[in-house]
Structure formats: structure tokens, C-alpha cells
Amino acid sequence: MRVGSLSSMDISAGALSAYRRQMDTIAENLANAQTTMTATGEPYRRKDVVFRVDEINQAVGDVIAPQALKGLRQTRAGHLQPMAAPASGRSEKLASVLVDSITDDPTPFVEVFDPSHPDAYENGIVKYPNVDTAVEMVNLVLATRAYEANLASLAAMRQIYESALQMGRTA
């Protein structure tokens, strides 16, 4: 069994990877927002990241294994006791967000009348990608904030580990 803090790091690391992939996909969408002709002969089609949830550990009540606590010095009553199962009696799982796939957005292309454009059809209509730059920028900000939150979580876990090691050295 794993100790709970290692699971926290796994969760944050998985989320960091997923949100980085989302930011890369958004950057690709923004870079191709005006690409009217690709190798397939049609405009660039917006890509979307599909996330999935991956279970990391046992039930929350089983996160800290009792054998992991053996040999540690108890300084007060209740200190270093295994975590209790959820009060509701249900088994909650720890999970991380991961990228399941990257899919093409099926929304229709934007059609603009511009007969002077080199990629215009006979009727003067040009099909532009289904990329809305405002939506992409909002998604980019959200993905960036999620990435930063998981980075802060990893930094906090590192500080907790360092503090625990320092306490162990002085004890």
C-alpha cells in the first residue's frame, strides 16, 4: 500500500501532464485559427482535449497503511493513527485527471464571402476554421490556472516532506 502523500504527488503529476497537453492543443488551435486549407483540402478543424479520471489508490480510509506507522514515535494520544474511513460508509477513491484523447470539434466551419481570397470556392465563399479565439483564450487561462494549482500542490507536498525530514533529524 502507498502512503497518502505519494498518491497526492501522483495525482498532481498526472494533472500537470494533462493540463500541459491541453495548453499545447489550445496553442495549436490558436496558431491555425486562420488556416483555410490543410493537406486534407479543407480548413483546419479545432482540436479538443478529452479528459478521463484514473483511480490512484484504495479507498480513502486505506490511504495510510498501519504498517507505515510502525516504528514512529507517538507524541500524544491520537497522533499517528491510521485515517478513518469516510463517515458516510461509502468508499471514495482518489483519482487523477489524465488525457483520454484529442478529438476534432464537429462544429461547422465559419463561412465568409470573400471572392478575392485564394481559397474561395466558385461562389466566393471561404471556409475558415471553427476556432473561436476568445473561447480558446478563456480555455487557455483556465488550463493555465489548473496547471499552476497543481504545481503549487506539488510545491506544498515538497515542503511538507522537507519539514518532516527536518523534524526527523532533530528528534
For 48-80, the pLDDT digits (tens) are 999 988 775 544 444 444 554 455 555 555 555
What integer pLDDT is reported at residue 169 of this predicted model?
A: 81
Tell me: pLDDT of 22 over 60: yes
Number of alpha carbons in the 13 Å side-chain half-sphere of residue 155: 6
Number of alpha carbons in the 13 Å side-chain half-sphere of residue 168: 8
Tell me: pLDDT of 4 over 90: no
CA-nearest of 106, 59, 105, 113 to 86 is 59
Comparing 66 with 132, which gets the higher pLDDT? 132
Beta-strand runs (E) in 115-155: 125-128
What integer pLDDT is reported at residue 170 of this predicted model?
A: 79
Comparing 158 with 45, which gets the higher pLDDT? 45
Query: How confident is the model over 142-157, as a mean pLDDT?
Result: 93
Tell me: pLDDT of 21 over 90: yes
pLDDT band of residue 1 (cuts 50, 70, 90) is very low
> By CB neighbour count within 10 A (0-12 exposed, 13-18 middle, 19+ buried), where does 157 fall?
middle
Q: Which residues contact 68 (CB under 8 A, 6 or more apart)?
A: 1, 3
How many other C-beta atoms are found inside a 10 Å radius of the C-beta of residue 107?
A: 12
What integer pLDDT is reported at residue 135 of this predicted model?
A: 95
Q: Which amino acid is at 30?
A: L
What integer pLDDT is reported at residue 64 of this predicted model?
A: 46
Q: Which amino acid is at 107?
A: T
What integer pLDDT is reported at residue 108 of this predicted model?
A: 96
Query: How confident is the model over 82-93, as a mean pLDDT?
Result: 52
Rounded percentage of the chain residues whose pLDDT exceeds 70: 73
What integer pLDDT is reported at residue 62 of this predicted model?
A: 45
Tell me: pLDDT of 146 over 70: yes
Tell me: pLDDT of 16 over 90: yes
Query: How confident is the model over 142-169, as a mean pLDDT?
Result: 90
